[in-house]
Amino acid sequence: VDLQSLLNLDDIEEVATKKISKKAWAYYYSAGDDLISKTLNNTVYRQILLRPQIFVDCTRCDTSTTVLDHKINVPFYVCPAAMARLAHTDGEHGIAQACSTFGAMQLISNNASMTPEQIVADAKQGQIFGWQLYVQNDRAKSEAMLARIATLPMIKFIVLTLDAPVPGKREHDERMNNIGANLPIKSAVQSGSASNTGTNPEAKSLGGIGQTLFAGTACDLTWKTTLPWLAKHTKLPIVLKGLQTHEDAYLASLHTPQIKAVILSNHGGRALDTAPPAVHTLLEIRKYCPEVFDRIEVWVDGGIRRGTDIVKALCLGAKCVGVGRAALFGLGAGGKQGVERVLEILKAETETCIRLLGCEKIDELGPQHINSRAVERE
Ligand code: FNR
């Protein structure tokens, strides 16, 4: 396919769906139970209306911003997502190269199908990454990974995911047990080796790829015990991922300076079905504990389909916005170039939105540019 003929993220997903294996598609597409949270993620931004200001100069448009004092050229990033090589052999390294082209940040999954060393191998000067941690029951495994991450200076923070101590019940993924039962690629953590990107013959993915990947993941994490443990094993700033209530965001904000940011996320709807989309949590924080925004950065992910979605989240106080499946489907549609096309589309749409709102820069965006009444609760 001519990637330039794909005009939006739906076009990309359609092409990827035809190209990747059924098993990969099911794993990427799947979400918990009835996909209520996933569907809400994908529709909630559409209910928020924009309030453009006319008759203002919008000749220039600068989409750059900062995350934790690091400059990024676009206000969106690629979420940590497992097993990119199920979509294309370019894998997470291909995503890294696409991010490099656009000056975007990438968060590397604990369950990536390539090692962190391979993924950052060709990173450009100034390119930044985070590494996402699922704490393992065997803490020594996680400690060893954290030690490896400490040797890679382009990895700037640790993203600790907390919304999926167990995976949600993902039936699309589970049904695919019946066709080609083996997990075709081992995650870097499972393999424990620095170079494994081959097949994993022993792993029968009963319950789906999700269940297989989560074997060994710890369920006993707590504010009290896990943060001190983590402080012992990394000097990098911590970003907590998967917050879904203002109470938890407030609690996180009490743990500065170790915690520098939170990611409001329901894991793309893949954990607890009917958990709220990030926008609801963002609105709750604005209402009940807006001081959180002064203490830590608030990032969001889930359901981003358009540049307008990204801008709306920024208007509500998000510092940056993650895309998960879109990057994987980009990879499926055309490898590294497919991911580049996804980032190109999102950047162009974001620029158009900012200019049509009557702005030139990210830090001019604010609540005055949106009407979110339709999604406000209570
Ligand atoms: C994920 N996500 C995820 N999150 C995480 O912290 N560690 C991980 O390994 C994974 N793996 C993963 C695999 C796949 C296939 C998907 C789709 C998602 C969740 C991800 O980081 C993010 O929260 C959501 O994907 C965002 O929603 P959208 O953009 O996919 O709608």
What pLDDT was estimated at residue 179? 57
Q: Is 267 a catalytic residue?
A: yes
pTM assigned to the model: 0.95
Q: Is the CB–ligand 1 distance for residue 302 below 6 Å? A: yes
Give the pLDDT confidence of 23-55 residue by residue, as tens digits: 999 999 999 999 999 999 999 999 999 999 999
What pLDDT was estimated at residue 200? 47
**Range in 122-131, 164-173, 197-206, 369-378 the model is least confident about:** 197-206
Confidence label for 141 from pLDDT (cuts 50, 70 and 90): very high
Determine the average pLDDT of the residues in 297-303.
98
- Quote the ipTM score: 1.00
Give the pLDDT confidence of 168-219 residue by residue, as tens digits: 999 999 998 765 555 667 666 656 544 434 444 444 556 789 888 888 999 9
Residue to substitute in 20, 30, 45, 79 for testing ligand 1 pocket (most ligand atoms within 8 angstroms of CB): 79
C-alpha of residue 57 to centroid of ligand 1, in Å: 38
Two structure tokens written together for 117 = 């060393």
Two structure tokens written together for 150 = 């400490």
Q: Is 28 a catalytic residue?
A: no
What pLDDT was estimated at residue 212? 87
Residue to substitute in 44, 270, 321 for testing ligand 1 pocket (most ligand atoms within 8 angstroms of CB): 270
Give the pLDDT confidence of 243-286 residue by residue, as tens digits: 999 999 999 999 999 999 999 999 999 999 999 999 999 999 99
What pLDDT was estimated at residue 338? 98
Q: Is the CB–ligand 1 distance for residue 325 below 6 Å? A: yes
C-alpha of residue 356 to centroid of ligand 1, in Å: 31
Chain mean pLDDT for the chain: 93
pLDDT at position 150 over 60 = yes
Asked if residue 316 lies in contact with residue 283, where contact means CB atoms within 8 angstroms, the answer is yes
What pLDDT was estimated at residue 83? 95
Report how far residue 261's alpha carbon sits from residue 322's, in angstroms, rounded to the nearest whole number. Answer: 14
DSSP 84-107: GGGT-TTHHHHHHHHHHHHT-EEE
Percentage of residues of the chain with pLDDT beyond 70: 92
Residue to substitute in 263, 267, 301 for testing ligand 1 pocket (most ligand atoms within 8 angstroms of CB): 267
C-alpha of residue 79 to centroid of ligand 1, in Å: 6
Buried b / exposed e over 153-167, threshold 16 CB at 10 Å, is: ebbbbbbbbbbbbeb
Determine the average pLDDT of the residues in 60-85.
98
Give phi and psi for 284, each to the nearest 5: -60, -45
Q: Is 207 left (phi over 0), alpha (psi -120 to 50) or beta?
A: left
Q: Is 374 exposed, middle or buried (0-12, 13-18, 19+ CB in 10 A)?
A: exposed
What pLDDT was estimated at residue 22? 95
DSSP 293-324: HHHSEEEEES---SHHHHHHHHHTT-S-EEES
What pLDDT was estimated at residue 214? 87
pLDDT at position 125 over 70 = yes
Give the pLDDT confidence of 205-237 residue by residue, as tens digits: 567 898 888 889 999 999 999 999 999 999 999
Give nearest CA residue, ligand 1 atom 25: 324
pLDDT at position 86 over 50 = yes
CA atoms lying within 13 Å on the CB side of residue 101: 15
Determine the average pLDDT of the residues in 133-159.
98
pLDDT at position 354 over 70 = yes
Q: Is the CB–ligand 1 distance for residue 79 below 6 Å? A: yes
Options 90, 163, 173, 273, the catalytic residue: 163
